[in-house]
Amino acid sequence: MNEIHRKDGSTQRKDKGGWGLLLVLCGAIFLEGIDVSMMGVALPSIRDELGMSTSALQWVVSAYVLGYGGFMLLGGRAADLLGRRRMFLLWLTVFLVFSGLGGFATEGWVLIAARFLTGVSAAFMTPAGLSIITTSFAEGPQRNQALLVYAGTAAAGFSLGLVVGGLLTEIDWRWVFFGPVLLAFGILIAAARLVGRTDPAERGPRQSFDLAGAGTVTGAMLLLVYAVVEAPNAGWGWTASALAGSLLLLAVFVALERRSAAPLVRFGIFRSGSLVRANLSAMLFAGSFFGFQFVTVLYLQELRGWSSLQTGLALLAVGVDAVLAPTLTPKLVDRFGNARVIVGGLLLAALAYALFLPMGADWSYAAMFPTMILTGIAFSLTYGPLTIAATDGVAEEEQGLAGGLLNTSFQFGAALGLAVVTAVNVAATGSGGSPEAMLDGFRTALFVPLAGTLLGVAVMATGLRGRSRRAPVGGKAA
């Protein structure tokens, strides 16, 4: 394989061999997406067999978000300092092991613990994979194309997981966990061959690691995500205490980083307006999408009585982004620039959620379809360009950190969106269990994702005043 060797020891792919590497990394992000969505549709079956309460069942989802969001920054920096290939292969193996353990669980607490550790493994694996892409493909057309393919694959994994999860749950919910094990094993074998030892961290002297900073920021993130996830169930006193503890640890982290010779997070990275806007928009976009999905699933299953498989098929149209992200989006980015494409995607998302507001107790799928297809188009215009904007121009040695920041924003946004939508839905529904009360609750809750996407538009619009970068996305590789 032809490669370009840099002065810092890193390597960039020059020819088609690099796309084999991309295929492996896309497989890993597809695995992460399909794992999350398949598990979601299996929850009712899990509750029935393991005898879990509704509050305990929530932790099957929340434990994963807690592990993922809490350790993401640490995972991103570990990839930069300890080696991207090493971290990717190690934590892909951990992902495989604990996904399998979840399939063998006979008690709820075992499943919750397995999901937490699976989330931790994803927190280390995902930024390592993303930084391998951003350091293996030259900045500009080649990297942008690779990132858009990567983003489309992630979305496809999530969308297809809804359907595959419904099918596997019909057989046995445990296959929702065993399926990713088989996929992860194949990806691990391919990755060991195709992901080269190109990191300076793997060949040169080991750099110092900011353990104190890592401990305080991870603790702060864990408390923050925990407070957000538990906000609908816990009292205000407990939520406020968790938030205060998170802020205290964050203050300690900032103080430590300012004095550290090798900080975990170099605060100068936030001088990039593109990175800051991308992370804020990613948080709002993810929160809005997951909030919308939560309301839609409740509407279809609790009010309309649809099965998990029917619900997955109804949401399948969202998966159109898997086709559009690597085909249409590069042309739009080339023509209009990242910021304008992201703003357009967010506006389409807002329109999609607004069109779902008149939902009725006997709505046909034809009435729902415009929202589903527009949501998929919005995803294709937003997710990939946000990834480009959050990593563009960042130094090679901080690509893992940039990827960690972005994925932290996505995960925290998802947790925040779910928490706020749940709280609004419960408050609006009240004690009434009638179809009319449920519809009122769903409609009111949908204003949360609508407002979130419009706020995202406002954030990204501040970047339109500057000159948009219009590097061609679909050009020839360097």
Integer Cα distance of 416 and 418 in angstroms:
5
The pLDDT, as a whole number, for residue 14 is 44
Contact 91, 82 (CB under 8 A): no
Looking at domain 266-466, its CATH architecture is Up-down Bundle (1.20)
- Nearest CA to 45 out of 119, 113, 103 is that of 103
The pLDDT, as a whole number, for residue 270 is 87
- 89: tokens are 């292969």
The pLDDT, as a whole number, for residue 392 is 81
Mean pLDDT of 210-238: 78
CA distances from 16 to 97, 133, 137, 189, 478 (A): 32, 14, 11, 20, 11
Contact 281, 289 (CB under 8 A): no
CA distances from 90 to 85, 97, 133, 340, 448 (A): 8, 11, 17, 38, 39
Residue 11's SS3 state is strand
Where residue 204 falls among pLDDT bands split at 50, 70, 90? very low
Which CATH homologous superfamily contains domain 16-195? MFS general substrate transporter like domains (1.20.1250.20)
Which positions ≥6 away from 435 have C-beta within 8 Å? 303, 361
Domain 266-466 in the same topology as domain 16-195: yes
Please state the φ and ψ torsions of residue 436, each to the nearest 5 degrees: -65, -40
Q: What is the pLDDT of residues 274-293, one digit of tens each?
A: 899 999 999 999 889 988 98
Which positions ≥6 away from 283 have C-beta within 8 Å? 409, 410, 412, 413, 416
Give the lowest-confidence range in 205-214, 215-224, 324-333: 205-214
Where residue 472 falls among pLDDT bands split at 50, 70, 90? very low
Contact 426, 435 (CB under 8 A): no
Please state the φ and ψ torsions of residue 279, each to the nearest 5 degrees: -70, -40
Q: Hey, CA dihedral for 438, 449, 384, 192, is it positive or negative?
A: negative
Which positions ≥6 away from 104 have C-beta within 8 Å? 174
Q: What pTM was estimated for this model as a whole?
A: 0.79
Q: What count of residues does the chain have?
A: 478
Domain spans, the chain:
16-195, 211-264, 266-466
Where residue 114 falls among pLDDT bands split at 50, 70, 90? very high
Name which residue leads in pLDDT, 272 or 2.
272
- Nearest CA to 444 out of 323, 291, 297, 331 is that of 291
Task: Report DSSP state, residue 357.
Answer: T
